[in-house]
Amino acid sequence: MDAATNGNFEIVEIRHAGILRLSMPIFLSRRMGFSCISMPIYTRTLGPTFYLPPSKPFKHAQNVRNLIEELVGRLPRHDSIRVRLPPGDESGFGFSLQDFNCEEQFTFRVPYPSDIATVWKNCDQKTRNVIRSAQRQVSVDCGYDFSEFVRLSLLNKSEKENRNDFRTMGRIFDAARERNQAVILTARNQDGKGVAAAILVWGAANAYFWQSARDLSCGIGGVNALLLWKSIELADRLGLTFDFDSYGSVSSAKFLAGFGLAPLVRTEVSRQIVPYKLFKLANGMRLRRAKATAEARD
């Protein structure tokens, strides 16, 4: 959070009788005069951490609901809040009882421990074939050269066209690297030139396919699939569950589904005041009109 927000965050804590029971980092920003609690850039999931003593299922669930109610009451003043909970997070129901909208999004995971041979066997035949094909044309190594990753990212777009905030991305990578919790997997052609790369970051239990870049002119198919498979193998060696870190399009979702894994829910919880909803609606209409005008000109 410190790296992603450049220190611009706070932590809300709830203590009972002096004992910490819940904590949650909060990123508050302003957009067009509105106060918004949201996800910092390049942060995929965010939610509360509970510190509850062992108890029976009903009592535990009741404690979670009560703590979420207390958390919502202690949030800084805001017009909009939107955060995405990690898979398996138990606070979604509590947020729904506080008049939050809950929307299901999805990711895929290879749990640890898994039989990697079985994971490979469960992949779609087409997915296995493209991985084999790419493996005959490139080699994959592990390193920490973030500047090479940036170079690959900019091959297909100029710095003006590229929307990545490499300064923030670099801070996050450096923070994880300092803790031995990040690595860059780079696919190289027979001349040793990097043609694709993926950044993995991890915590105590999960490794994430965090960022990727590819030279679209390299002419080698299946490189991303190969990097994903090498990431799965690396996570297994580290004793971690591998998270594909969701997807950005329907085609990407279908590509990831080719690895034969069941989708897991990442619940997004949100709540906005009416003026903010109207602002978002009007802004969306303006963007659609601008896009239609640009397309008509073309």
Answer yes or no: do 254 and 272 share one domain: no
Residues 247 and 134 in one domain: yes
Give the domain CATH number at 167.
3.40.630.30
Per-residue confidence (pLDDT) for residue 134, from 0 to 100: 97
Tell me, what's the pLDDT at 275? 76
Residues 42 and 147 occupy one common structural domain: no
Q: How high is the pLDDT of residue 287? A: 64
State whether 45 and 91 are in the same domain.
yes
Same domain, 134 and 236: yes
- Count structural domains, the chain: 2
Q: How many alpha carbons fall within 13 Å on the CB side of residue 115? A: 4
Three-state secondary structure of 221-247: CCHHHHHHHHHHHHHHHHCCEEECCCC
Residue 75 φ then ψ, to 5° = -65, 145
The H or E element spanning position 169 is helix 166-178
Report the distance separating Cα 106 and Cα 140, nearest Å.
28
Residue 101 lies in domain: 2-106+266-296
Q: Indicate whether 112 belongs to any domain.
A: no
Residue 11: inside a domain: yes
Place of tokens 């066209």: 161
Claim to verify: residue 80 and residue 173 sit in the same structural domain: no
Q: Report pLDDT for 216.
A: 87
Which of 229, 254, 223, 201 lies closest to 152, judged by CA? Answer: 223
Q: Is residue 113 part of a domain?
A: no
Whether residue 253 sits in one domain with residue 130:
yes
pTM: 0.89
Distance, CA of 230 to CA of 246 (rounded, Å): 17
The whole-number pLDDT of residue 88 equals 94
Rounded mean pLDDT for each run of 10 residues along the chain, 298 residues in total: 96 98 97 92 95 97 98 96 96 97 97 97 97 97 96 77 90 97 97 96 96 91 96 98 95 96 97 81 70 59
Nearest to 50 by CA among 42, 40, 61: 61
Does 219 share its domain with 284?
Answer: no
Using CA atoms, how far residue 244 sits from 94, 155, 219, 290, in Å, is 27, 24, 24, 34
- 3-state SS assignment for residue 123: coil
The answer to whether 181 and 170 have CB atoms below 8 angstroms apart is no
pLDDT for res 156: 73
Burial grade of 223 (CB within 10 A; 0-12, 13-18, 19 or more): buried
- Answer yes or no: is 47 within a domain: yes
The residue among 214, 192, 91, 185 whose CA lies nearest residue 137 is 192
Reduce the DSSP state of residue 189 to 3 states and report it: coil
Judge if 179 and 200 occupy the same domain.
Answer: yes
212 and 187 within one domain? yes
Residue 116 lies in a domain: no
Residue 93 falls within a domain, yes or no?
Answer: yes
- Residue 72 structure tokens: 């919502």
| 237 and 181 in a common domain | yes
Query: What are the structure tokens assigned to 42, written together?
Result: 């390049």
Domain identity same for 243 and 285: no
Q: What is the CATH number of the domain that holds 277?
A: 3.40.630
Residue 22 counted as domain residue: yes
Q: Tell me if 119 is assigned to some domain.
A: no
Counting every residue written for the chain, the total comes to 298
